[in-house]
Structure 1
Amino acid sequence: MKGEENPLLCIGLCTYQRPDMLTEALDSVAQLRLPSNVNLKLLVCDNDAEASAREVVDSFRPKLSFPIEYLIEGNRGIVFARNRILEVALQHSATYVAFFDDDETVEPGWLVTLLQCMEEYDADVVNGKVVFLWPDEVNLHVRLRNMLQRMHFPQTGERQHGSGTGNVLFKTDWIREGHRFHHELNLRGGSDQLFFQQLNDKGARIVWCNEALAYEKVPLSRANREWLLKRRYRYGYNKFYILKHRFGLAHARKDSKRFCLKEFMWCISRAPFYPLGSEDFKIKWIAKWLFAKGVWHGLQEKDYFEYQIVHGS
């Protein structure tokens, strides 16, 4: 880093009662190759009102060559923690914000690569690749694994319609007018998808980057058939809320009813073949049914809060 004239990039990291994972995440930050064209600040937002992450964060202050700011957000939920980071980044007049998750680690070249991709493709948002690391003792069908990870990755520089916060860099110009993560999806999940899809709707250029890598360790509590299938239900549930906030309630209801009818009919028409079907077919059938059921329950605005449960430590 050179000189005060460089723009500020804030790395945002939200955490809640996962000290071991947070330690690994911060250790990867300490090994980052530092970009020469920005100043850095790490914002760690602890969503535990008891400040349980303070000791871990303080232990890394001597290990980093750029400042760490420790924030406590007592309002429970990832939306409050992410929005707190956005607010503090803007208070510091940051030009860029990068997010990754406390259950992830990043490669040394992660940040440099995101910045290079942003410049090369004239992007407002760069969505990097997350590689999932499965426990050695887990043997899951590939279709189950693909419920969490992408089956196919875009080319670097390819335009995207959205992003998550697991590996992303974006310009703060797009949040200065008040664009934030939506509270209605706080413990439901999907607030990051809505956030970036709305930026895309506003004209932000979002591109993919295969070379900026983050790694997520999948805990045993998630590396199982039951949880992965529930994830499909949650994706369907979120679909309704994302549609509602992007296009309005009437559009969301109409689109969701049409989608549910199509998917339920697919499942019903193939139900007689289920008992004798292959494992691949059975997983596909259950996944479709649960996704449509999630959309239907979202349409009825039933409560479902996946993120009340903490996975990992």
Structure 2
Amino acid sequence: MKNVVIAVITCRRPEWLGRLLDGLLALKCDEDINPRILVVDNDASESSKDVVISRQQDGAIPVSYDVEKQQGIVFARNRCVELFHQMNGDYLVFIDDDEWPQQPDWLNRLVSAAGEFNVDVVTSHVISVGEPGTPEWAVDLIYGKNPYTHGQFIDVFYTNNLLLSRRMTEALTPCFDARFAMTGASDYHFALRAKQAGYQCVYIDAPVVEEFPASRASVKWFCRRGFRSGIGYTRSHVFEESYKTALLRCVALSGVRVLRGLAKLITGVVTNNKTTRVDGLFRLCSAAGTIAGLFGIQHEEYKVIHGK
């Protein structure tokens, strides 16, 4: 029997959390999988508690609720890992509170892939759908075209659709670095550490669906996201590599991002394609953030909560 803990971090998005919990409670799990849902609320006022309680008797999958009062997604993620260990879980699965599984066998696919490919990390993609009123260009841009194929081994993964083995989380605890508490990129940094420690990640076809909020559908938001992602990339490598290696890596990547960004921007202007134009701006801002990170500049990602 495989004990699997599905971890959800939430903060003042009760409506979307309820939708996710309904989707998780509808999962069809194989007989050798023993699932449990864990919700960690990163709001000290416990604004999501009633949502969880209302669903604790709704299905065969147990639902637990916990609060991480220290503000910052890093602390909530590490609380999930800590509770997962206390629950004697074999696999920890992360999914965001603005998502839901596309298919009821989503969990089966992740767990079976860990055994089939003999890996400690399994991930899949996110399909974005727009909240009512969200322009298509923003929905098309947020994740872009999926570049991976089923069974492909990859180096980078994020916590929006992710399975981790107990062996790995115990070895790398604390998994998420407090220096990324409010800035984002703690999952990229964790993936870098995992790769350096020799753990492998496989991509499979087990997507989740995400509702992209209309409040994020602005050129300004995408530019900020690009700048923040560039900073997060640089800080991750500065923390884990020699400064010289990180410097050369980041300067080279910044140059590539500038060239690609200009190409996208010019193409978008010529073709009057807003998705391509904003993609170009995103890459240029990412290049700027990659250099800014070398000077210790940070950008707070989680000041504003989008969604409901």
Determine whether 1:231 maps to 2:225.
yes
2:50 to 49, 52, 55: 55
Determine whether 1:149 maps to 2:143.
yes
- Aligned-pair identity in percent equals 25
SS in 2 for 1:170: strand
What is the distance in 1 between the residues matched to 2:220 and 2:210? 19
Give, in angstroms, the shift of residue 119 of structure 1.
2.0
What is the distance in 2 between the residues matched to 1:191 and 1:64? 33
Give, in angstroms, the shift of residue 136 of structure 1.
4.9
Query: What TM-score, normalized to structure 1?
Result: 0.89
Determine whether 1:202 maps to 2:178.
no
Moved more, 89-98 or 274-283: 274-283
SS in 2 for 1:102: coil
Give, in angstroms, the shift of residue 20 of structure 1.
0.5
| 1:124-176 deviation line (CA, Å, top 9, x unaligned) | 111022110023543344xx545421313311111010211111112110121
Determine whether 1:248 maps to 2:242.
yes
| 1:53-102 deviation line (CA, Å, top 9, x unaligned) | 11000001111213222111000011100100101111122111001000
1:78 equivalent in structure 2: 73
SS in 2 for 1:61: coil
2:117 to 117, 121, 125: 121
Cα contact 1:99–1:167 (8 A) shared by 2: yes
SS in 2 for 1:199: helix
1:22 equivalent in structure 2: 17
What is the distance in 1 between the residues matched to 2:79 and 2:29? 25
Give, in angstroms, the shift of residue 288 of structure 1.
2.9
What is the distance in 2 between the residues matched to 1:265 and 1:102? 35
In the alignment, structure 2 segments of 5+ residues that lack a partner are none
2:93 equivalent in structure 1: 98
2:303 equivalent in structure 1: 308
Give, in angstroms, the shift of residue 268 of structure 1.
8.3
SS in 2 for 1:189: coil
Please provide the CA RMSD for this pair: 2.4
Letter paired with 2:13 = R
Determine whether 1:260 maps to 2:258.
no
Give 1:35-46 correspondences, 5 Å limit: 35-46=30-41
In the alignment, structure 1 segments of 5+ residues that lack a partner are 1-5
Cα contact 2:262–2:280 (8 A) shared by 1: no
Cα contact 1:140–1:224 (8 A) shared by 2: no
| 1:13-44 deviation line (CA, Å, top 9, x unaligned) | 00000000101010101101122113222111
Query: What TM-score, normalized to structure 2?
Result: 0.90
- Larger-Rg structure: 1
Distance 1:135 1:61, change over 3 A: closer
| 1:217-256 deviation line (CA, Å, top 9, x unaligned) | 0010112332123222222111101212332333223322
Cα contact 1:42–1:68 (8 A) shared by 2: yes
